[in-house]
Structure formats: C-alpha cells, structure tokens
C-alpha cells in the first residue's frame, strides 16, 4: 500500500490530531490506496495554490470537510450534491481507507481527499472559494494542558472565514461542552462570521441535512452533539 508523503517538518504547526493508524487496513481497502487514491487525491498543497476548477471542472460549489473520520458523512453529502466538489481532509489512514471504499461503492466522482493535516490544504485554497466548511467532532483535547492542540484557534478561525464566499456556511459540531464553548468564543470573535442561532434548539437540534456518523453513535463525549452554524457576511 502506498501512502502520500507527509507534509510534516520542523515548521509544522502543533499537531491537532492523535493517532494516524490503528488496526491493520483490510486488503481490499489497502488496494484502493494504489488504484483509487491517485485519482482522487488533492494535489500536494505545499507545491502551491490549489486550483479548484482543475479538481472538478464545472463544479457549481465547493465544500471542505475537515476530519472526515470514516467518510460516511462526506460520501453522503457528495451523493446528495453531485454538482459540488467535496474536499475531505483526514490524517487517520484507516478513515481514509474507509472513505475510499465509500467513494468506490457509491461511484462518486466529486470527492477529493487529502490524507494529512487539513491546515495545509486550507492555506493553499484561494480566499473566497468555499461554499461550505464542515468540522464534525474534531479531537477535543479536553484536558486543560492540551487545549493548545485544539484545531480551533483564533488564527485558524480567521483563516477559515477568509476561505468562505460571502453567504458561505461553516458548521462546527462537537459532543464536548467545553469545546463547544471554546469554539463559539473564538468564532464569535472572528470578523466576517455571524452565528446563525436565535434559540437553544438552533444548536441542540441537528440541522436537516446532518448525516449521523459512526463516531456520533458511540456517544463518547459529555453531551449530546452541539451544532454551531456560522455564515460569512
């Protein structure tokens, strides 16, 4: 099985995710790294700006999912929106293998994957190029001494906002109360983002287009999922 070269180096930002592999990858999925991955892989973001039009000519929208886990949400959204380019980033190789299986089984032509840190892809995307950004259940790093490893930091929140088109949406979902509060504080302080919530049900009830993931079903956090939705203004 071949794997993409790592972008990690001495200047790499503090790691925001845990392990990159657990159990052995099943032979069928491992084979997809050699056959399918080269077809759907996002170009090396360290090589320069990413040309979204080249990734999917004629795409009517561009979505980014950061940390797609097993890929079931990414694949389901891709199937629902075949005219939209779906970029998924995930450093956990078992999850990438699962996503490749979903892509193959669904015959999905609009998904592109990056098997590494999403921040490199975000850096390489043009400003104002994304219609949706989805961040579902990122590593909570819930011990106080590890909070600095959380994905959502002021600088990254500002960068995400810069990549959205006017009217574009950012969705952050977590099942840890402390991380929800942490993320909300930082997104509210980000110029250009407006929180789309008027009452408690707006963050406690899943949006109509939400896809329940295997991780979500495990109920590993300290609360039911909390949904924070923002709009680029």
pLDDT digits (tens, 9 = 90+) for 155-191: 999 999 999 999 999 999 999 999 999 999 999 999 9
Question: 58: which strand partners?
Answer: none
Q: Model's pTM, two decimal places?
A: 0.89
* Long-range contacts formed by 57-61: CB under 8 A, 24+ apart: 58/83, 59/83, 59/84, 59/85, 59/110, 60/84, 61/85, 61/131, 61/132
Q: Among 5-19, 90-104, 149-163, 205-219, which is the least confidently predicted range?
A: 5-19
Q: Report whether 214 belongs to an annotated binding site.
A: yes
- Quick: pLDDT tens for 57-87: 999 999 999 999 999 999 999 999 999 999 9
- Looking at residue 93, the DSSP 8-state letter turns out to be H
Say what the pLDDT of residue 218 is: 92
Establish whether 218 is an annotated binding residue. no
Which position has the higher pLDDT, 19 or 166? 166
Alpha carbons 135 and 193: distance in angstroms, whole number: 15
To the nearest 10 degrees (0 to 180), the angle between helices 177-188 and 154-163 is 60
Ligand-binding site membership of 179 (annotated): no
Q: Which domains does the chain have, with CATH numbers?
A: 27-46+53-232 (3.40.50.150)
List the beta bridge partners of residue 65: 88, 134
- Residues catalogued as catalytic: 139
- 216: annotated binding-site residue? yes
- Averaged pLDDT for residues 4-14: 48
């Amino acid at each position: 099985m071949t794997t993409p070269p790592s972008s990690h180096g001495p200047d790499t930002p503090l790691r925001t995710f845990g392990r990159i592999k657990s159990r052995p990858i099943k032979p069928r999925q491992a084979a997809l790294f050699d056959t399918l991955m080269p077809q759907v892989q996002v170009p090396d973001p360290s090589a320069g700006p990413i040309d979204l039009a080249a990734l999917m000519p004629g795409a009517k929208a561009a979505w980014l999912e950061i940390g797609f886990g097993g890929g079931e949400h990414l694949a389901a959204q891709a199937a629902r929106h075949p005219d939209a380019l779906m970029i998924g980033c995930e450093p956990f190789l078992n999850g990438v293998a699962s996503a490749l299986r979903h892509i193959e089984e669904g015959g999905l032509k609009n998904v592109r994957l990056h098997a590494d840190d999403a921040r490199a892809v975000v850096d390489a995307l043009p400003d104002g190029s994304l219609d949706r950004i989805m961040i579902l259940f990122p590593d909570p790093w819930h011990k106080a001494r590890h909070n600095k490893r959380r994905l959502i930091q002021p600088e990254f929140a500002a960068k995400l906002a810069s990549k959205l088109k006017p009217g574009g949406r950012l969705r952050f979902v977590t099942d840890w109360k402390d991380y929800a509060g942490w993320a909300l504080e930082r997104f509210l302080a980000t110029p250009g983002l407006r929180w789309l919530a008027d009452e408690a049900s707006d963050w406690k009830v899943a949006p109509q287009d939400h896809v329940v993931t295997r991780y979500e079903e495990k109920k590993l956090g300290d609360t039911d999922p909390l949904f924070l939705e923002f709009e680029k203004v």
